A and B are shown apart, each in its own frame.
Chain A
Amino acid sequence: MVVRPQQYLEYIASLLNVKLGKICLNNSVYTCVIGNKTISGVYNIIISLLLESKSNLSGTDPLEKAEIQQWIEYGVVYAVHIDNPHNLKQILNELNGIFATKTYLVSHKLTIADVLLYYILLNFMKKEKYFNVSRWFDNLQQDTLLRQSHKIIDFNTNYLVSVAPSRH
């Protein structure tokens, strides 16, 4: 069953160093307490976490903000279904197309959109085939704060073999 919001929201909260209340399903909407307010909806929870932490991962102008919101929705509606092999292929393929010309999802800097997708993709990254996603993912995982306690995924296998083949 899909990647659960509890997972990635907790990673985000811990990255932003904000305390996240227990997440419950209220009328099929995810709700939780942040600070002393009750927030409903995954998007709102993420935005509240950002506000609370005063981090610089949010967008700076309305266009960026709309783009971020769009990617968050992409994550929450589509990317969470990545656990099914068919979807995995589709999602990585789509993202690979996106990253062919981009370093980050929105604008030219790291935003919460990248962070969210990183946490959702975390356990499903396939190497070798999707070079652009791999490059983006590898770039992100170098940030130890962002990566937290997750293992680094090793991407450079074939490349090394072809550039420096072993000899004995």
Chain B
Amino acid sequence: MMNKQFLFQMQHYVTFFPPSENKSFEINELLEWEATILSPSLAYVIGGSVKNEKEKNNLLISFKKLNAILEIGKYLTGDSITSADIAIWSTMYPLFKCPNLSKEYISVLPNISKWMISLDGEPQFKDATSIFKVEGGQTSYNALLAGARYLVPVLPNESQLNEKDSPQHNVEAVSEGELLAAEKAWQKDASQLPKLKQPKTVVLPLPGEKNVLITSALPYVNNVPHLGNIIGCVLSADVFARFSRLCNNNTLFICGTDEYGTATETKALEEGLSCQDICDKYFKIHSEIYKWFNISFDYFGRTSTPEQTQICQDLFLQLNGNGFMFTQSVDQLHCENCNRFLADRFVEGGCPNIGCNYEDARGDQCDGCGKLVNSIELKNPRCKVCSSTPKLKTSNQFFIDLPKLEPLLHHWMKISLPGWSYNAQVITKTWIKEGLKPRCITRDLKWGVPVPLDGFREKVFYVWFDAPIGYISISKAYTKDFDKWWRPASGTNVTLYQFMAKDNVPFHSVLFPSMLLGANKGYTTVSHIMATEYLNYEDGKFSKSRGVGVFGTDAQSTGIPSDVWRFYLLYIRPESQDSSFSWNDLATKNNSELLNNLGNFINRALVFAKNNFNKTVPQMKPTKDDYTLLALCTRELKAYVAALEKAKLRDGIRHILAISRHGNQYMQANQPWVLTKGTDEEKIRAGTVIGICCNLACLLATLLQPYMPDTSASLKKQLNTSNVVIVPSNLEIVTLLPAGHKLGEPFPLFDKIESALVEELKKLFAGTQEDRKNGSVDIKTLEAEVAKQADKVRTLKSGGADKNVWQPEVTVLLELKKKLETAQKNNSVKGTPENNVNLKTIEAELAKQAEKVRALKSSGAAKTVWQPEVAILLNLKKKLETIQNIVPNNKVNVADIKRLEDEVTKQGLVVRKLKESGAEKSVWQPEVDKLLTLKNQLALVSGTTVPTARNNKKGKN
């Protein structure tokens, strides 16, 4: 201890006193060498008794270096003892003290021995060694190894060297037990697995079985959900629900829109519609988005239903009857003009916070200073609707007595809390720590569930009170037997999982359970609250109110399949901390993980089976190598199930990808394309490899189902199989596809996302929704006008009107079309992207793929190598054709075709003339080029496939 400061590393304790300024650099270098090289080496080689030749060699090099330094002077830095001598001597001392080690290492290096002995003779050193009894040899260095916990010696390049030395993939170690288990499991086949339950029209819990009720937070109805909302609740819940069904649990997954409350009223005013109309409009938008994302709700309901009113009022009366409610008068602003009490959002006025002179503070928060505001404290308050001054009035409101419910809640929480996600636990604990206060549950509003007591019938329940009850009422709308889920009979266990973003946690962890516990009717309470953090957009925040980010409706318009969206959102699911959505990352993950890893593995295996084994699963004679692969994949399977059971969806996806990565390495190491040309024995080996790969693909099809249902379905079709059941208590890889199983037609599962598309999408979705709308509205209105005018012309003509009559209308039509065209051109970046973008990227991809095939063929590669690539190529062509067929159907522009045709004829004449006149190639070539470009343009506009035809020829030769 020096000056009450504790220096915890011996060397620095040493530097502190000897004055050796002039040599400080030398000393520091030596001290660093001692800390980073010498000590770890000693600890590792001698303390850890490691028999690694390389590491041992490193230690010898270190000793030689030390010996060389001591060649020059008596001590390390010259003729006087410095801190470096003390430190290094101390490190070497145990070695020196142990006769065997000393003989082995030091005796051959005379300078070190001399130096060690001479220092040992110094009186100060003698004092030190007499006070601290140091044991010689291995024991001391072992202590060093254990004490410096992460002193792992840096072995540069070793891992790289290994990779280079052996072309074999690095096989992870698998224990004997795992190998045996894998072998035993492989002897079983799919018929020995329990059958997957068929989906029922109404799912009900059954006694003695595992019954899982899943809810995702009810999205508020006044907005279009963005990607953050989607991954935060519905998509996460969906994956979990699908997984739960695969495990043969009785699974009910419900959700719906939350429709009551002030925000709906505000939105209704904004759009000039009634509250019910607003709800209907947005309910439709919500359900369509979720449908596109393939969310497998058993029922997607809403809260503005009679069931909601009834259950909400019942629960209130039960709570009231049990004494957990009381009334209290509350000061509220009342607008005489509108004849209603003003909710916080309906009042504006001067900010009451000291130092802030903001004039337009809202009733709940001031945008000027950002502080929370109590609406009755606003200076000069005014009604947001009519701008008259509201008066302060008192009215009686119901409060739920949370402090009274706290003991019940505490008791319940002790049991339930451990099953929650970490952030949900933290948030809830903070809430409880601050102490629960009574909460007002009624409001003087119109849009809501009315309070069923005289004197309060004009009031409605506050939205947070009625929203969670929506879970029960939506279940009731789904089945009249909803009580079996929510108030299960004894002997029937229902486990409730609730998914939400973290801002919703207190409502589900404190308020809703308090209500249910207070009612004392044996309601099912939540056992697993699964809360996510926030998803950011690029580097900013998603914002519904400002329209920043990508919204559910936008995702559909990008042309990227919903499965890829699902995959990426789940891959970046903000599980333990906020994460960011990025377009570049989306493309990278799609191309590297889906296309190159997962898709590549499956497609290679299936195409190989098709070409070499006549679309059947070949005979398999697995060896130890194969069982090793199966054991490794079993590990991943177990980890996958463990992750999903805890709703760690982000991890689950990584285990799927790990299986296909194992598979790719396995195929690369075994090279079935070589084996299949070899001896009979080698051919059997090739069959075994491909058979096992097909079986892994079959396993993957099931594991993928929760994440990417469409892909999974398409893969199952290719494999000609269906889902297998997951038995969490007994996870093993059995022979799912026996030898002789007939496979379907293989085709690629994923498409590449080109960087060009990413750039366009990035631009397209920059800024806010408002900005984007302004760009595309023009086009839309123009398109509508064109269509209208075209109709008019058609009726006129078909009505047999005179040319004089319809001619001017045609002129108008042509003019409109021209306008539309320019608008589309200017807007090619901002406008509707689907077709344009797709067309371009697919053309680019096509060209690239064709190039690849050509290169492969010309390099003389085996058919098995280029065949899958050709399949990809053909697939692309098909796609291009469909898109091209769509484009012209939508917007065939007669005038355009005419103009281009004229130009082509003209340019054709020019070229012919030039050639006839015997001009040189350099003269006519540019004109020919022009002609070709024109022809291409024409082809595109008129919908023929000239450019594809060109690729066709080259693709097939």
Does B240 make an interface contact (CB < 8 A)? no
The answer on a CB contact under 8 Å between B577 and A128 is: yes
Which stretch in B148-156, B280-288, B549-557 binds the other chain?
B148-156
Q: Among A76, A84, A127, which residue has its beta carbon within 8 angstroms of that of B150?
A: A84
Does B787 make an interface contact (CB < 8 A)? no
Give the nearest-CB partner of B539 in chain A: A151
Q: Given the known A-B contacts A41-B32, A76-B32, are A66 and B427 also in contact in the complex, defined by CB atoms under 8 Å?
A: no
Does B11 make an interface contact (CB < 8 A)? yes
The answer on a CB contact under 8 Å between A41 and B577 is: no
Q: Give chain A nearest CB distance to B147 CB in angstroms.
A: 12
Interface size in chain B (residues, C-beta < 8 A): 57
Does A54 make an interface contact (CB < 8 A)? no
Q: Give chain A nearest CB distance to B23 CB in angstroms.
A: 12
Point out the residues of chain A lying under 8 angstroms from B15, CB to CB: 66, 69
Q: Give chain A nearest CB distance to B164 CB in angstroms.
A: 16
Does B596 make an interface contact (CB < 8 A)? no
Point out the residues of chain A lying under 8 angstroms from B576, CB to CB: 128
Which stretch in A8-16, A142-150, A159-167 binds the other chain?
A159-167
The answer on a CB contact under 8 Å between A158 and B32 is: no
Q: A55–B577 Cα gap in the complex (Å)?
A: 36
Q: Is the interface of A mostly helix, strand, loop or mixed?
A: helix
Give the nearest-CB partner of A84 in chain B: B150
Q: A131–B593 Cα gap in the complex (Å)?
A: 35
Q: Give chain A nearest CB distance to B14 CB in angstroms.
A: 9
Q: Given the known A-B contacts A47-B28, A81-B152, A158-B430, are A41 and B33 also in contact in the complex, defined by CB atoms under 8 Å?
A: yes
Which stretch in B1-9, B129-137, B186-194, B563-571 binds the other chain?
B1-9
Point out the residues of chain A lying under 8 angstroms from B534, CB to CB: 157
The answer on a CB contact under 8 Å between B149 and A90 is: yes
Does B377 make an interface contact (CB < 8 A)? no
Q: Given the known A-B contacts A63-B16, A66-B12, A77-B36, are A1 and B28 also in contact in the complex, defined by CB atoms under 8 Å?
A: no
Q: Among B7, B28, B154, B159, which residue has its beta carbon within 8 angstroms of that of A2?
A: B154
Q: A161–B754 Cα gap in the complex (Å)?
A: 39
Q: Is the interface of B mostly helix, strand, loop or mixed?
A: helix
The answer on a CB contact under 8 Å between A73 and B464 is: no
Point out the residues of chain B lying under 8 angstroms from A127, CB to CB: 577
The answer on a CB contact under 8 Å between B423 and A67 is: no
Point out the residues of chain A lying under 8 angstroms from B506, CB to CB: 165
Does A28 make an interface contact (CB < 8 A)? yes
Does B340 make an interface contact (CB < 8 A)? no
Give the nearest-CB partner of B157 in chain A: A1
Point out the residues of chain A lying under 8 angstroms from B8, CB to CB: 70
Point out the residues of chain B lying under 8 angstroms from A40, CB to CB: 29
Q: Give chain A nearest CB distance to B721 CB in angstroms.
A: 38
Does A124 make an interface contact (CB < 8 A)? no
The answer on a CB contact under 8 Å between A29 and B430 is: no
Q: Give chain A nearest CB distance to B60 CB in angstroms.
A: 13
Q: Given the known A-B contacts A63-B2, A70-B9, A73-B9, are A164 and B372 also in contact in the complex, defined by CB atoms under 8 Å?
A: yes
Residue from B12, B431, B464, B534 having most chain A Cβ neighbours under 10 A: B12
Q: Give chain A nearest CB distance to B229 CB in angstroms.
A: 13
Q: Among A44, A66, A73, A126, which residue has its beta carbon within 8 angstroms of that of B29?
A: A44
How does the 8 Å CB contact mask read for B462-505 relative to A, with 1 for contact and 0 for none? 01100000000000000000000000000000000000001111
Q: A154–B579 Cα gap in the complex (Å)?
A: 11
Q: Give chain B nearest CB distance to A103 CB in angstroms.
A: 16
Point out the residues of chain B lying under 8 angstroms from A158, CB to CB: 423, 426-427, 430, 502
Does B220 make an interface contact (CB < 8 A)? yes
Does B934 make an interface contact (CB < 8 A)? no
Does A168 make an interface contact (CB < 8 A)? yes
How does the 8 Å CB contact mask read for B258-274 relative to A, with 1 for contact and 0 for none? 00011100000000000
Give the nearest-CB partner of A31 in chain B: B29
The answer on a CB contact under 8 Å between B430 and A162 is: yes
Q: A24–B156 Cα gap in the complex (Å)?
A: 13
The answer on a CB contact under 8 Å between B7 and A43 is: no
Q: Given the known A-B contacts A29-B29, A73-B35, are A168 and B263 also in contact in the complex, defined by CB atoms under 8 Å?
A: yes
How does the 8 Å CB contact mask read for A22-54 relative to B, with 1 for contact and 0 for none? 000101110000000001111110010000000
Q: A167–B464 Cα gap in the complex (Å)?
A: 8
Q: A64–B500 Cα gap in the complex (Å)?
A: 50
Q: Among B12, B31, B37, which residue has its beta carbon within 8 angstroms of that of A28?
A: B37
Does A87 make an interface contact (CB < 8 A)? yes
Q: A76–B154 Cα gap in the complex (Å)?
A: 12
The answer on a CB contact under 8 Å between A29 and B150 is: no
Point out the residues of chain B lying under 8 angstroms from A87, CB to CB: 149-150
Q: A154–B506 Cα gap in the complex (Å)?
A: 22
Q: Give chain A nearest CB distance to B829 CB in angstroms.
A: 28
Q: A27–B156 Cα gap in the complex (Å)?
A: 13
Point out the residues of chain B lying under 8 angstroms from A70, CB to CB: 7-9, 12
Residue from B9, B32, B151 having most chain A Cβ neighbours under 10 A: B32
Point out the residues of chain B lying under 8 angstroms from A76, CB to CB: 32, 35-36
Q: Among A27, A78, A161, which residue has its beta carbon within 8 angstroms of that of B427?
A: A161
Point out the residues of chain A lying under 8 angstroms from B502, CB to CB: 157-158, 161
Point out the residues of chain A lying under 8 angstroms from B61, CB to CB: 28
Q: Give chain A nearest CB distance to B927 CB in angstroms.
A: 52
Q: Give chain A nearest CB distance to B186 CB in angstroms.
A: 33
Point out the residues of chain A lying under 8 angstroms from B431, CB to CB: 162
The answer on a CB contact under 8 Å between A44 and B25 is: yes
The answer on a CB contact under 8 Å between B372 and A157 is: no
Point out the residues of chain A lying under 8 angstroms from B32, CB to CB: 29, 41-44, 73, 76
The answer on a CB contact under 8 Å between A29 and B33 is: yes
Q: A78–B262 Cα gap in the complex (Å)?
A: 56
Does B65 make an interface contact (CB < 8 A)? yes
Q: Give chain A nearest CB distance to B428 CB in angstroms.
A: 9
Q: A82–B505 Cα gap in the complex (Å)?
A: 33
Q: A42–B7 Cα gap in the complex (Å)?
A: 20
The answer on a CB contact under 8 Å between B220 and A168 is: yes
Q: A94–B148 Cα gap in the complex (Å)?
A: 13
Give the nearest-CB partner of A74 in chain B: B9
The answer on a CB contact under 8 Å between B28 and A43 is: yes
Point out the residues of chain A lying under 8 angstroms from B367, CB to CB: none
Does B348 make an interface contact (CB < 8 A)? no
How does the 8 Å CB contact mask read for B49-71 relative to A, with 1 for contact and 0 for none? 00000000010010001000000
The answer on a CB contact under 8 Å between A77 and B35 is: yes
Give the nearest-CB partner of B36 in chain A: A77
Give the nearest-CB partner of B501 in chain A: A166
The answer on a CB contact under 8 Å between B423 and A154 is: no
Point out the residues of chain A lying under 8 angstroms from B364, CB to CB: 167
Point out the residues of chain B lying under 8 angstroms from A1, CB to CB: 154, 156, 159
Q: Given the known A-B contacts A29-B32, A29-B33, A67-B5, are A128 and B578 also in contact in the complex, defined by CB atoms under 8 Å?
A: no
Give the nearest-CB partner of B574 in chain A: A157
Point out the residues of chain A lying under 8 angstroms from B261, CB to CB: 168
Q: Give chain A nearest CB distance to B82 CB in angstroms.
A: 14
Q: Which of B533-567 contact A (CB under 8 A)?
A: 533-534, 539
Q: A134–B243 Cα gap in the complex (Å)?
A: 36
Q: Give chain A nearest CB distance to B353 CB in angstroms.
A: 15
Give the nearest-CB partner of A64 in chain B: B5
Q: A64–B207 Cα gap in the complex (Å)?
A: 70
Q: Which of A58-113 contact B (CB under 8 A)?
A: 62-63, 66-67, 69-70, 73-74, 76-78, 81, 84, 86-87, 90-91
The answer on a CB contact under 8 Å between B3 and A44 is: no
Point out the residues of chain A lying under 8 angstroms from B151, CB to CB: 77
What are 12 sample pairs from A and B whose C-beta atoms fall under 8 A apart? A44-B29, A44-B32, A66-B7, A67-B5, A69-B15, A76-B35, A78-B148, A158-B426, A161-B502, A161-B505, A164-B372, A168-B463
- 18 new A-B contacts, CB < 8 A, other than A1-B156, A43-B32, A81-B150, are A2-B154, A28-B58, A29-B32, A43-B31, A44-B25, A47-B25, A47-B28, A63-B5, A66-B16, A69-B28, A73-B31, A77-B35, A127-B577, A157-B502, A157-B578, A158-B427, A162-B430, A166-B503
Top-5 shortest CB links A-B: A162-B430, A41-B29, A166-B503, A70-B12, A41-B32
A interface, CB within 8 angstroms of B: 1-2, 25, 27-29, 39-44, 47, 62-63, 66-67, 69-70, 73-74, 76-78, 81, 84, 86-87, 90-91, 126-128, 151, 154, 157-158, 161-162, 164-168
